[in-house]
Amino acid sequence: MLKYLDHMDAVFSALADPSRRSMIDRLSRGPASVSELAAPLEMSFPAVVQHLAVLEASGIVRTKKVGRVRSCTLEPGILSSAEEWLEQRRTTWQKRLDRLGAFLDDTNPPPLPKKDQSND
């Protein structure tokens, strides 16, 4: 397997598949066995196991085998890290817009404190 230079690669790659997102969705409601994760998915059991391996490699899911059942749980911190990456870029963009707005306000001061519409 190829090693990810950036861990975000693994996280966003794992999130990029609808079957894997459905597994995450299921696990957000509580731990589940591999069979439970597989039940709603229309694919072979080994295919589900492979998806699970991707989720586990990314750190999104942790599993632990008890007897013959593998129990899977969500690791919410990893989802947070992805959220933070997105938030950071989005807010950088937003701040830039705010600065631009302030600059325009300074350069060209507000003429009338009207609320409804501008005309002329």
Measure Cα distances from 73 to 13, 25, 110, 117 in Å.
Answer: 19, 11, 54, 53
If one asks whether residue 69 binds a second copy (CB under 8 A), the answer comes out as no
Name which position in 34, 55, 60, 61 contacts DNA (CB under 7 A).
34
Name which position in 8, 47, 86, 100 contacts DNA (CB under 7 A).
47
1 binds, among DNA, a second copy, none (CB under 5 to 8 A by kind): DNA
Give the containing element (helix H, strand E) for 33.
Answer: strand 32-33
User: What's the closest the beta carbon of residue 46 comes to a second copy, in angstroms?
Assistant: 22
